[in-house]
Structure 1
């Protein structure tokens, strides 16, 4: 999306998830704890959609022995990630591009937070398969993104809830209304059932929902051991 190439918009990025994603800080905390279930003290993590660097910083600060590869298509967002990481940047290798840009690994875990909802279903499956190929057997993948029922009435209801949360967080009503119009028209959001089916179709098993915040859902799934 062009928004992620706008330097002024990118500079304000850190404000967005906190105001728009229910429990954003807790989502990052839970993701870190789930990674710690599987990764050794010297584990390596692939972070797809790493622009901004918010989750990379959280992971790095809580696990000083881990190393990371971050991938994002936006050069501006990767600049922000570099700045956000600060002293932790030496432990992170950043790549501009998509999943095919990522090194083959293998990695002990992977995350993809607030990213997959930008990718159409057919490309999303390819992305998930490419993540699967880069993981060691038994490794977890943790994903979280917009995911809500897609029948017209249910879709409208969940988008209104998303807007209500944004307004309650201080976003102007007009901005919140524009946001849900854009999401409805532009984002290839899937239902939770379809999201889980794609994870399984990509080869993952033990798919578990661990996070639900209005229109956002999060899952952990594993490459078979």
Structure 2
């Protein structure tokens, strides 16, 4: 995650998710719709992994009464989020750190997009528990991140598919395959079955899959 403090990487951040995450923009809109099913017009939403501000901007543009608290361990990425949001940033409280520095809420909804795959299982569970503790009863949590079969042959196949999708013009397929292999080796990814079970272990009910795109999965659950 050190790249999120590299000024050049931060400046190019917005290019990456669109290229590497299938259906990135529709996934954000779906997250906003799932939140809106239960978050009131004047609701408060916790956004974990808010650096860059891409989902915050979608949420703020679609729901003018919502207020947000955005959490991210990178000061540089939070600065980028503020620039991305422009005038909308006045509705966001930015907090540098992990879930532990998030306000206690209570929040009417929460999201954690493209973030949990960086966390080992125990820390992922603790983070989910801490999110739930900050939510009002029945409030939605929307998550999406790398989640794919972990059996070696299947894992390799899905990473190959991810690499094929994410290969950009001017980039060799071999380069992107190397990046995909690094994801498989360095990120503490879990299978969809394990991810879904972890949400339930953290105390979320009604867990349902809403997004599946090559190596990515997304769920909604309720406190």
TM over 0.5: yes
Tell me which residue corresponds to 1:86.
86
Q: Does 1:208 align with 2:208?
A: yes
Tell me which residue corresponds to 2:102.
102
User: How far apart are residue 171 of structure 1 and its match?
Assistant: 6.4
Number of corresponding residues? 222
Alignment of 1:1-225 (within 5 A): 1-167=1-167, 169-170=168-169, 172=171, 173-223=173-223
Q: Compute the RMSD of aligned alpha carbons.
A: 0.8
What SS class does the counterpart of residue 38 from structure 1 fall into? Answer: coil
Separation in structure 1 between the aligned mates of residue 61 and residue 175 of structure 2, nearest angstrom: 34
User: How far apart are residue 177 of structure 1 and its match?
Assistant: 1.8
Q: Which TM-score applies when normalising by structure 1?
A: 0.97
User: How far apart are residue 182 of structure 1 and its match?
Assistant: 1.4
Q: Which TM-score applies when normalising by structure 2?
A: 0.98
What SS class does the counterpart of residue 37 from structure 2 fall into? Answer: helix
Gaps of 5+ in 1: none
After superposing on structure 2, the runs of 4+ consecutive aligned residues of structure 1 that deviate more than 3 Å are none
- Whether contact under 8 Å (1:160, 1:180) holds in the other structure is yes
Gaps of 5+ in 2: none
Q: Give deviations 1:193-219, integer Å, cap 9, x for gaps.
A: 000010000000100000001100000
Separation in structure 1 between the aligned mates of residue 25 and residue 113 of structure 2, nearest angstrom: 12
What SS class does the counterpart of residue 90 from structure 1 fall into? Answer: helix
